[in-house]
């Protein structure tokens, strides 16, 4: 069970009522004043406090957080401050004064919301399904074939959800396809376990045999690189499509299939959290892809360090799109801990041509985290002038 104390925020209520949190059995307690929140924290000792920076009636969430952190009995309570607009200098100073553990800028994509909480509370990370491809599994021992859904794919393995039962060590042939191309993949059942409720069936790990033909290998390479899914009902460009990228972007990437899949799409969200390396050839292939998107509206969510670093050096990586959230490297001098924190770009102060990241607290020791890069270099893609001469929203 996850025990959370919140101020009165409708978007937070909606996110905490979603399926991922229902599976965690969240116990939520709400109060509308600083005194009431402090009393709840003292009595319940929650795992997390979600606190509006502006609480109304001239109360400041910054001061409420600071009071919690100043109390020796409550100091290790995790507090996330909620911002309702692009951060101001006064709010950045308030964040440092409050000694909060994290900052979250609303509105926010549901997956990013979960990521903030999971990181502080030690929950398993949750990612959108990489793929959702229906397959037929032929059992080589003559047992009736099973149909299932591929939930994850890599160059050497599949994770499949099936309604029936498979046994570890069993030899199978997985028949699957995409874009009109169908192939048969010889595999062995490596492991099985029950699917997480409320999903029905059994999750099965299939280890692929080495003797794959080039046609099958190319299909796997494509499927392990990207997936196109309907965008959720919340967050940026709701109702469009979301492209989930995974793996390295090198000279071997071919975005022709992705470009075809995005043909005619007008609203696109790119999730690049799974991109961990981009070579110069990968940058060129990616820039060619975004150039071909024409007048489509698109944003980048959960940009990885690799992706954000390339965007800072090569502006064309973003095309006409903008980043709404990205990984930021932090370091704790007290316990020598490196940390990657997800930041919404509205939680970054942009003034005078400079970008400043908020001060956060170490989840390990509670000490202060320092941003572990040169802000003006790492966030360079946020500093360009917009069409009206103001700082860019990219």
393 falls within a domain: no
285 falls within a domain: yes
Let me know whether 152 and 89 are in one domain: no
- Which two structure tokens, joined as six digits, stand for 318? 């973003």
Please state, as a whole number, how many other Cβ atoms lie within 10 Å of the Cβ of residue 43. 10
Let me know whether 196 and 78 are in one domain: no
pTM for this prediction: 0.79
Give CA–CA dist 43/49, Å, rounded: 13
The DSSP 8-state label assigned to residue 392 in this structure reads: P
Tell me the average pLDDT across 243-247. Answer: 87
Give CA–CA dist 161/129, Å, rounded: 12
Work out whether strand 325-332 and strand 368-371 pair parallel, antiparallel, or are unpaired. Answer: antiparallel
Work out whether strand 322-323 and strand 79-83 pair parallel, antiparallel, or are unpaired. Answer: unpaired
Residue pLDDT, tens place only, 265-323: 999 999 999 898 999 999 999 999 999 999 999 999 999 999 999 999 999 999 999 99
Let me know whether 39 and 143 are in one domain: no
Question: Taking a C-beta distance cutoff of 8 angstroms, is the pair 366, 75 a contact?
Answer: yes
194 falls within a domain: yes
Confidence (pLDDT) at 56: 75
Let me know whether 115 and 156 are in one domain: no
Can you give the residue range of the structural domain that contains 205?
Answer: 133-212
Please state, as a whole number, how many other Cβ atoms lie within 10 Å of the Cβ of residue 38. 18
Confidence (pLDDT) at 143: 56
Confidence (pLDDT) at 284: 96
Residue pLDDT, tens place only, 345-371: 999 999 888 999 999 999 888 889 999
Give CA–CA dist 187/185, Å, rounded: 6
Confidence (pLDDT) at 338: 92
Let me know whether 83 and 34 are in one domain: yes
Q: Determine the number of helices (DSSP H) and then strands (DSSP E) in the chain.
A: 11, 24
217 falls within a domain: no
Give the end of a domain, one of 150, 185, 212.
212
Tell me the average pLDDT across 199-224. Answer: 78
The yes-or-no verdict on residue 152 having pLDDT over 80 is no
CATH label of the domain that carries residue 335: 3.30.750.24
The yes-or-no verdict on residue 388 having pLDDT over 70 is no
Q: Kindly state the helix (H) or strand (E) to which residue 345 belongs, with its residue range.
A: none
Let me know whether 174 and 252 are in one domain: no
87 falls within a domain: yes
CATH label of the domain that carries residue 137: 2.40.10.220
Q: Kindly state the helix (H) or strand (E) to which residue 227 belongs, with its residue range.
A: strand 226-230
The yes-or-no verdict on residue 246 having pLDDT over 70 is yes
392 falls within a domain: no
Confidence (pLDDT) at 63: 95
Let me know whether 229 and 365 are in one domain: yes
- Which two structure tokens, joined as six digits, stand for 260? 């075809």
Give the end of a domain, one of 178, 212, 246.
212
Residue pLDDT, tens place only, 4-56: 999 999 999 999 998 888 888 899 999 999 999 999 999 999 999 999 999 87
Q: Which of 116-130, 190-204, 254-268, 379-393 has the lowest mean pLDDT?
A: 379-393
Q: Measure the N-to-C terminal CA separation of the chain; round to a whole number of Å.
A: 38
Whose CA is closest to 11, among 246, 167, 233?
233
Give CA–CA dist 219/47, Å, rounded: 44
Question: Taking a C-beta distance cutoff of 8 angstroms, is the pair 301, 235 a contact?
Answer: yes
Give CA–CA dist 218/246, Å, rounded: 15
CATH label of the domain that carries residue 84: 3.40.50.2300
Let me know whether 151 and 82 are in one domain: no
241 falls within a domain: yes
Tell me the average pLDDT across 117-121. Answer: 91
Share of the chain above pLDDT 70, in %: 88
Banded model confidence at residue 215, pLDDT cuts 50, 70, 90: confident
Let me know whether 230 and 203 are in one domain: no
Confidence (pLDDT) at 40: 97
Let me know whether 246 and 350 are in one domain: yes
Give the end of a domain, one of 121, 143, 158.
121
Give CA–CA dist 29/1, Å, rounded: 13
179 falls within a domain: yes
Number of domains, the chain: 3
Let me know whether 144 and 238 are in one domain: no
CA distances for 157 relative to 93, 122, 154, 221, angstroms: 48, 27, 5, 12
Which residues, in sequence order, are bridge partners of residue 147?
A: 136
Let me know whether 8 and 31 are in one domain: yes
Banded model confidence at residue 226, pLDDT cuts 50, 70, 90: confident
Whose CA is closest to 289, among 309, 270, 308, 305?
270
Question: Taking a C-beta distance cutoff of 8 angstroms, is the pair 168, 190 a contact?
Answer: yes
The DSSP 8-state label assigned to residue 206 in this structure reads: E
- Which two structure tokens, joined as six digits, stand for 70? 């100043």
Residue pLDDT, tens place only, 83-112: 998 999 999 999 999 999 999 999 998 889
Give CA–CA dist 212/218, Å, rounded: 10
Which residues, in sequence order, are bridge partners of residue 268?
A: 241, 298
Confidence (pLDDT) at 98: 96
Residue pLDDT, tens place only, 170-201: 888 888 766 666 778 888 899 998 877 667 78
């Amino acid at each position: 069970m996850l025990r959370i104390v919140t101020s009165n925020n409708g978007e937070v209520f909606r996110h905490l009522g979603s399926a991922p949190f229902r599976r965690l059995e969240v116990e939520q307690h709400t109060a509308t004043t600083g005194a009431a929140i402090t009393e709840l924290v003292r009595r319940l000792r929650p795992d997390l406090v979600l606190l509006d920076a502006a609480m109304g009636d001239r109360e400041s969430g910054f001061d409420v957080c600071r009071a919690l952190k100043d109390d020796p009995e409550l100091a290790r309570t995790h507090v996330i401050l909620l911002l309702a607009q692009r951060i101001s200098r006064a709010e950045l100073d308030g964040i440092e004064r409050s000694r909060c553990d994290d900052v979250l800028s609303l509105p926010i994509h549901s997956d990013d919301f979960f990521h903030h909480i999971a990181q502080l509370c030690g929950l398993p990370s949750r990612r959108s399904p990489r793929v959702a491809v229906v397959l037929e599994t032929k059992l080589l021992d003559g047992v009736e074939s099973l149909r299932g859904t591929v939930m994850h794919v890599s160059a050497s393995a599949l994770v499949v959800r099936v309604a029936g039962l498979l046994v570890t060590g069993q030899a199978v042939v997985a028949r699957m396809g995409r874009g009109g191309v169908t192939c048969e993949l010889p595999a062995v059942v490596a492991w099985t376990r029950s699917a997480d409720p409320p999903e029905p069936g059994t999750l099965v790990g299939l280890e692929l045999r080495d003797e794959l033909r080039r046609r099958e290998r190319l299909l796997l390479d494509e499927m392990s690189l990207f997936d196109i899914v309907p965008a959720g009902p919340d967050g940026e460009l709701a109702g469009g499509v979301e492209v989930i990228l995974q793996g390295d972007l090198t000279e071997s990437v071919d975005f022709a299939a992705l470009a075809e899949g995005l043909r005619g799409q007008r609203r696109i969200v790119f999730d690049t959290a799974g991109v961990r390396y981009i070579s110069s050839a990968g940058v060129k292939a990616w820039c060619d892809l975004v150039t071909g998107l024409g007048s489509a509206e698109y944003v980048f969510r959960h940009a990885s360090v690799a992706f954000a670093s390339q965007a800072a050096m090569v502006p064309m990586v973003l095309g006409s799109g903008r980043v709404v959230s990205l990984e930021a490297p932090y370091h704790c001098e007290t316990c020598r801990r490196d940390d990657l924190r997800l930041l919404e770009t509205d939680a970054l102060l942009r003034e005078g041509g400079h970008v400043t990241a908020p001060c956060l607290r170490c989840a390990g020791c509670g000490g202060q985290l320092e941003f572990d890069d040169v802000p003006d270099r790492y966030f360079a893609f946020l500093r360009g002038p917009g069409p009206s001469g103001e700082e860019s929203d990219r």
